[in-house]
Amino acid sequence: MSALLYLDSAYQTHFEATVLGTGPEGVELDRTLFYPEGGGQPHDEGWLSAADGARWRVNRVSKSSGTVRHQLEPGPSPVDGLAVRGTVDWARRHRNMRYHTAVHLLSGAAFARFGSDITGSQIASTGARLDLALPEARRETAEELIREANLQVEAARRVEVRWVDAAELERTPSLVRVRRDLVPPGERLRLIDIVGFDVQADGGTHVRSTAEVGPIRLDRFENKGARNKRLYVQLEERAPTPPDDPD
């Protein structure tokens, strides 16, 4: 099982690891900063390199039963036991972090006003969508949620990762805005805390301040059945905030 460094070190892009195994599904490392696709957030991309100068492009990252697999470009794979250095594509990672935090701002605004849960979300390179259980919502409702989210962007609120005992979920069920069965089992629960605004369980990577998200724009609003409403949003293009290891 891989040590999931991205859970606590989203702003790091370099790491040292050892190859545990290779196969059709990709390369397994003993530790990784690469975020695997899941929870509506796309996987990271980047590179693995070895001391002899060998270099492999990481094209896709997936996770199953606690094991993270790094799918490499076609060609020879690194051998078992090899020491490698991983490098995350920071521009892609930071864009995904901005969009993921934007989705939390919108879902937080919807929960505060309507008590609405999330019924789906997906981040892409050109935007994001958020599905909410809002039977009576109209486009005007969506625009109000966008305005509230942008107020939180302007407030430059801190965004923190916190870990709590899993029993906290039973005491505070509102920490989970998706189906309970989508929350990974375990002794600890990972929370994303937009300080002073919203707290919810989440396994993705996020920016440290809502200011990094930038202005959120509503692209379109759709009815997706009797209860579900879908918001498509976009962010402005901007240079990523430097990571913690800019070398």
| Residues 129-139 pLDDT 10s | 999 999 999 99
Domain match, 46 and 164 both: no
| Residues 29-49 pLDDT 10s | 999 999 999 999 999 999 999
Residue that finishes a domain, picked among 55, 88, 121: 88
Residue-level pLDDT at 177: 82
d(CA 184, CA 1): 15
In the structure encoding, which two tokens stand for residue 196, read together?
A: 């002073």
Domain match, 55 and 107 both: no
3-class secondary structure for the chain? CCEEHHHCCCCCCEEEEEEEEEECCEEEECEECCCCCECCECCCCEEEECCCCCEEEEEEEEEECCEEEEEECCCCCCCCCCEEEEEECHHHHHHHHHHHHHHHHHHHHHHHHHCCCEEEEEEECCEEEEEEECCCCCHHHHHHHHHHHHHHHHCCCEEEEEEEECHHHHHCHHHCCCCHHHCCCCCEEEEEEECCCEEEECCCCCCCEHHHCCCEEEEEEEECCCCEEEEEEEECCCCCCCCCCCC
Domain match, 167 and 99 both: yes
109 found inside a domain: yes
Domain match, 55 and 159 both: no
Instruction: Supply the angle between the helices 90-114 and 139-154 in degrees, to the nearest 10.
Output: 120
- pTM exceeds 0.85, yes or no: yes
Q: What is the mean pLDDT of residues 175-181?
A: 75
Q: Are 71 and 62 in contact (CB under 8 A)?
A: yes
98 found inside a domain: yes
Residue that finishes a domain, picked among 60, 88, 116: 88
217 found inside a domain: yes
Residue that finishes a domain, picked among 35, 66, 88: 88
* Confidence grade of residue 144 (pLDDT, cut at 50, 70, 90): very high
Domain match, 67 and 140 both: no
* Confidence grade of residue 246 (pLDDT, cut at 50, 70, 90): low
Residue 220 has pLDDT above 70, yes or no: yes
Domain match, 48 and 143 both: no
In the structure encoding, which two tokens stand for residue 4, read together?
A: 């999931």
d(CA 50, CA 42): 26
Query: Based on the structure, what is the number of domains in the chain?
Result: 2
| Residues 62-94 pLDDT 10s | 998 889 999 999 989 999 999 999 999 999 999
The DSSP bridge partners found for residue 57 are 47
> In this structure, what are the phi and psi dihedrals at residue 91, rounded to the nearest 5 degrees?
-60, -45
Domain match, 131 and 73 both: no
- CATH code for the domain in which residue 158 is found: 3.30.980.10
Round the average pLDDT of the chain to a whole number and report it: 94
- CATH code for the domain in which residue 13 is found: 2.40.30.130
- In percent, the amount of the chain with pLDDT more than 90 equals 81
247 found inside a domain: no
Domain membership of residue 39 as a residue range: 3-88
210 found inside a domain: yes
243 found inside a domain: no
Greater pLDDT, 80 or 186:
80
158 found inside a domain: yes
* Confidence grade of residue 102 (pLDDT, cut at 50, 70, 90): very high
Beta 83-88 vs 228-235: how paired, if at all? unpaired
Domain match, 59 and 132 both: no
* Confidence grade of residue 213 (pLDDT, cut at 50, 70, 90): very high
Terminal alpha carbon distance of the chain: 29
Q: Which residue has the tokens 């989210």?
A: 149
State the virtual CA torsion across 223, 203, 245, 240 in degrees, nearest 10: 10
241 found inside a domain: no
Residue 146 has pLDDT above 70, yes or no: yes
* Confidence grade of residue 245 (pLDDT, cut at 50, 70, 90): confident
- In percent, the amount of the chain with pLDDT more than 70 equals 96
